[in-house]
């Protein structure tokens, strides 16, 4: 039934267009370097290429402005307005009345929102349940009013309600009816609706002609998995692909920019790449050794290596542009000083360090440069090369003294600081997330900032936390890297594309594909 209705929509749109022109459905083809999808359930999806598609199918109560990812651009989406209590604990949202679920699942009401947020908060159904721990109750006051009550203030409530991860709103009837199958048959409310999936091949979306902001200009999106770098670029060159997600290399951007009628763009949010140093294991338990490593790293050279357009030097232990980010004074590149520090620490002949390293090319090449930089200061970094799943398991078992990790999160300081530098998140603990360095120097500030209501005081706490982590050298920030994209100039966006939380361009009802 779902497919039939969408197909009808497509056909009728094509017929309307066909009064003047031959009926040719407009298909936008996107190619990404993946093998296959894992899941299109937004509350579960963690792979970049899964989120890329989810981006075009779902709404949140609020959203970041199209083409933007910063939380200060938040504007209404399904909710047309909202108010909060004085203490910031009770949030009341008034919903639009014209929102329809894809297919035959009918109008979206407050009970769908309640279901969806509860689903996002449950560890049984969501990978992001921890983010919603402070959501004490979510209630429908009437068909179009939703009230969220928090157990304690949190840094961003609206940030958790944008269509990203747990914030994507799914329709209750579809969620309960499809159960585990939802990930292969997602039902949302967004400008494009799921039609079909062919394993290892593509996901096909069709325009949601009943979208509450108006029917999309583009009829269909074909999201293709093209694992081979060369074939993907050739397919773009031959015109079979309109948008291509590229390689993390300046040379790729340069080559694409040289093609006719092509726009090359690096989308945010930028991932922060840093070296996490295990502070509990000798010789890294000595701060002088960690300082020596920081002095040995040449950020500018790394940026030059990865590409000036794709990357920029890191400025703190959280990515720039995040709410609460404050540029820090990082140790300068100074090989002599690094050698002196090692000698002071009792290692005049240098040190040997062990790192478990993934064979993913974009990460391995960076680490080869890091290895060469450290070697100049007498720090011998020994690789243990493993495939990516093994890498992820072993770095969580303290098997790597130096962990190279690149990440972007919801752009608010708290989440990044909590996951990477709060002692609760230390790997191997029951509450483990991704604190590979065993850093615990800023616990007090991170915790206090989490519930601080006064934004100025909160910013001060986050600033203090960053300063302490930088000073203790739990991690050595290196560079920030965006998402490389190229698209045909036939594609016309109504607004400039700076990025999106789901790391794909914002293709919505206003996006056009010229003939």
Partner 1 sequence: MLGFVLRRLGFAVITLFAVLTLVFFVIRILPGDPTLVILGDQASAQSIALLRERMGLDQPVWLQYLQFLGGALRGDWGTSLVSGRPVIQEVLNVLPHTLELTFVALVLGVVLGLPAGIWAAVNRNRIPDYVTRIVSLLGLSAPAFVSGIVLLLVFSIMLRWFPVISGGQGTTLLDRARDLALPAINLALIMAAYVTRVTRSSMLEVLSQDYVRTAMAKGAPARAVVWRHALRNCLIPVVTVVGLYLGILIGNSVLTEIVFNRPGLGKLIVGALNQRDYTMLQGMMVIYTLIVVLVNLLTDLVYGFIDPRVQYK
Binding residues (CB under 8 A) for partner 1: these are 31, 35-36, 38-39, 44-47, 123-124, 126-130, 180-181, 183-184, 198-202, 224-228, 230-231, 234-235, 237-238, 240-241, 386-390, 392-394, 396, 407, 409, 419, 429-434
Which tokens sit at 122? 């449950």
C-alpha–C-alpha distance, residues 396 and 424, integer Å: 14
Name the minimum Å distance from CB 227 to partner 1. Answer: 5
Name the minimum Å distance from CB 85 to partner 1. Answer: 28
C-alpha–C-alpha distance, residues 499 and 497, integer Å: 6
Name the minimum Å distance from CB 370 to partner 1. Answer: 21
The nearer residue to partner 1, 423 or 510, going by C-beta atoms, is: 423
The nearer residue to partner 1, 22 or 123, going by C-beta atoms, is: 123
The nearer residue to partner 1, 19 or 238, going by C-beta atoms, is: 238
Size of the chain, expressed as the number of residues it contains: 515
Spell out the long-range contacts of 138-143 with Cβ–Cβ below 8 A and sequence spacing 24 or more.
138/113, 138/114, 139/114, 140/109, 140/110, 140/111, 140/113, 140/114, 141/92, 141/110, 142/110, 143/109, 143/110, 143/111
The nearer residue to partner 1, 50 or 298, going by C-beta atoms, is: 50
Q: Find tokens 């910063």 and name the residue.
A: 70
C-alpha–C-alpha distance, residues 194 and 205, integer Å: 5
The nearer residue to partner 1, 140 or 432, going by C-beta atoms, is: 432
> How far lies 38's CA from each of 183, 199, 263, 302, in Å?
8, 10, 29, 32
Name the minimum Å distance from CB 502 to partner 1. Answer: 14
Query: How many of the other CB atoms lie within 10 Å of CB of 489?
Result: 10
The nearer residue to partner 1, 34 or 60, going by C-beta atoms, is: 34
Which tokens sit at 335? 């090989």
Rg (CA), the chain: 24
Name the minimum Å distance from CB 341 to partner 1. Answer: 32
Name the minimum Å distance from CB 195 to partner 1. Answer: 14
Which tokens sit at 149? 């009550």
The nearer residue to partner 1, 44 or 306, going by C-beta atoms, is: 44
Question: Is the C-alpha dihedral spanning 140, 144, 148, 149 positive or negative?
Answer: negative
Nearest alpha carbon to residue 218 among 67, 56, 3, 65: 56
DSSP 8-class letter at 101: -
Name the minimum Å distance from CB 228 to partner 1. Answer: 5
Name the minimum Å distance from CB 203 to partner 1. Answer: 13
C-alpha–C-alpha distance, residues 261 and 259, integer Å: 7
The nearer residue to partner 1, 310 or 386, going by C-beta atoms, is: 386
> How far lies 285's CA from each of 58, 419, 435, 444, in Å?
46, 21, 15, 21
Name the minimum Å distance from CB 225 to partner 1. Answer: 8
> How far lies 250's CA from each of 264, 299, 307, 481, 496, in Å?
11, 16, 5, 11, 22
DSSP per-residue string spanning 196-207? EEETTTEEEEEE
Name the minimum Å distance from CB 223 to partner 1. Answer: 13
The nearer residue to partner 1, 241 or 279, going by C-beta atoms, is: 241
Name the minimum Å distance from CB 460 to partner 1. Answer: 27
Start-to-end CA distance of the chain, whole Å, equals 32
Burial of 21 (0-12, 13-18, 19+ CB in 10 A): exposed
Name the minimum Å distance from CB 230 to partner 1. Answer: 5
Query: How many of the other CB atoms lie within 10 Å of CB of 327?
Result: 11
């Amino acid at each position: 039934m779902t497919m039939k209705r969408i197909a009808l929509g497509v056909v009728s749109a094509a017929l309307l267009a066909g009064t003047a022109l031959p009926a040719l459905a407009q298909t936008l083809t996107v190619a990404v370097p993946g093998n296959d999808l894992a899941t299109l359930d937004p509350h579960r999806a963690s792979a970049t290429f899964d989120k890329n598609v989810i981006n075009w199918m779902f709404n949140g109560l609020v959203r970041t402005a199209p083409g933007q990812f910063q939380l200060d651009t938040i504007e209404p989406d399904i909710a047309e307005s909202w108010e909060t209590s004085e203490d910031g604990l009770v949030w009341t949202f008034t919903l639009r009345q014209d929102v329809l679920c894809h297919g035959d699942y009918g109008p979206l009401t407050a009970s769908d929102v309640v279901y969806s947020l509860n689903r996002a908060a449950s560890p049984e159904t969501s990978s992001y349940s921890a983010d919603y721990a402070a959501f004490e109750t979510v209630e429908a006051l009437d068909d179009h009013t939703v009230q969220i009550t928090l157990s304690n203030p949190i840094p961003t409530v609206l940030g958790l309600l944008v269509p990203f991860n747990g914030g994507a709103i799914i329709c209750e009837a579809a969620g309960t009816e499809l159960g585990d199958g939802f990930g292969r048959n997602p039902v949302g409310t967004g400008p494009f609706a799921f039609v079909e999936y062919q394993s290892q091949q593509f996901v096909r979306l069709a325009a949601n002609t009943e979208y509450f902001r108006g029917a999309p200009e583009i009829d269909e999106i074909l999201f293709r998995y093209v694992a081979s770098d060369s074939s993907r670029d050739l397919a773009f060159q031959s015109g079979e692909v309109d948008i291509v997600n590229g390689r993390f290399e300046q040379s790729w951007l340069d080559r694409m920019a040289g093609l006719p009628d092509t726009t090359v763009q690096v989308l945010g949010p930028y991932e922060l790449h840093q070296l996490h140093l295990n502070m509990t294991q000798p010789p890294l338990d000595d701060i002088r050794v960690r300082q020596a490593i920081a002095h040995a790293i040449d950020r500018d050279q790394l940026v030059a290596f990865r590409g000036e357009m794709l990357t920029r030097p890191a400025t703190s232990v959280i990515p720039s542009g995040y709410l609460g980010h404050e540029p820090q004074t990082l140790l300068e590149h100074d090989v002599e000083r690094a050698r002196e520090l090692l000698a002071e620490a009792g290692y005049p002949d240098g040190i040997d360090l062990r790192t478990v390293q993934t064979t993913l090319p974009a990460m391995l090449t960076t680490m080869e440069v890091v290895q060469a930089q450290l070697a100049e200061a007498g720090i011998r970094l020994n690789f243990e090369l493993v495939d990516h799943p093994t890498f992820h398991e072993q770095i969580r078992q303290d098997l790597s003294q130096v962990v190279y990790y690149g990440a972007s999160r919801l752009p608010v300081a708290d989440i990044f600081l909590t996951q990477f530098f709060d002692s609760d998140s230390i790997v191997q603990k029951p509450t483990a997330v991704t604190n590979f360095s065993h850093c615990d120097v800023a616990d007090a500030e991170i915790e206090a900032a989490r519930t601080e209501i006064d934004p100025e005081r909160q910013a001060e706490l986050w600033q203090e936390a960053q300063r302490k982590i930088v000073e203790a050298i739990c991690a050595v920030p290196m560079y920030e890297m965006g998402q490389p994209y190229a698209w045909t100039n036939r594609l016309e966006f109504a607004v400039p594309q700076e990025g999106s939380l789901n790391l794909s361009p914002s293709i919505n009802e206003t996006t056009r594909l010229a003939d």
